Amino acid sequence: MNGELFPRQTQLINGVQVPIMILGDPAYPLNNWLMKGFPDRDNMPNAHRRFNYRLSKARMVVERSFGMLKGRWRILMKRNDSELKHIPNMVLACCILHNMCIENGDVYNPSWDDENEDEVEQPQHQAEDRPINNATGNEIREALVDYFGNL
């Protein structure tokens, strides 16, 4: 929430400075650092459907990547009580080692997926239907909707 985890890089898209963001599912609140899709409704505009589809595709790639990392590096499946400043380097090391494995022919084994996942406590999320107080998240999402509509 303090804006300390991401580099302060932005990209100008349709007149809006779009920062590096986390892609979230509908259970999360919209924020300028956490992007989520529009609520699924029957009368949803096509531009919003297209945005949700593209966001979903991007999230699937990310989820699959994290799934593979957790499958190969089981330490990522457990609670990490290290200092916050060390965690990015731990994840980065796992990513680098994963890429080295692929480059050296050590193919990812799909049997590693979901192994012992029941033992890991999953975070619980609640949908927030209250109005979003931060217009910046809405402005960013609308800029992305327009951007995707022009592709």
pLDDT level of residue 128 (50, 70, 90 thresholds): very low
C-beta of residue 132 within 8 angstroms of C-beta of residue 30: yes
Residue 24 to residue 63: CA distance in whole angstroms: 11
Model pLDDT, residue 127: 39
Q: Is the pTM value of this prediction over 0.85? A: no
Residue environment code for 31-59, b if the CB has 16+ CB neighbours within 10 A, otherwise e: bbbebbbbeeeeeeeeebeebbebbeeeb
Range of the domain at 89: 10-149
Q: What is the pLDDT of residues 103-112, one digit of tens each?
A: 999 888 888 8
In a domain, 90, yes or no: yes
In a domain, 2, yes or no: no
pLDDT level of residue 46 (50, 70, 90 thresholds): very high
Model pLDDT, residue 114: 63
Q: What is the pLDDT of residues 71-85, one digit of tens each?
A: 998 888 888 899 989
Q: Give the total number of structural domains in the chain.
A: 1
In a domain, 3, yes or no: no
Residue 76 to residue 74: CA distance in whole angstroms: 5
Model pLDDT, residue 78: 86
Mean predicted lDDT score pLDDT of the chain: 82
First to last CA, the chain: 32
Which residues, in sequence order, are CB contacts of 86 under 8 Å at separation 6+?
none
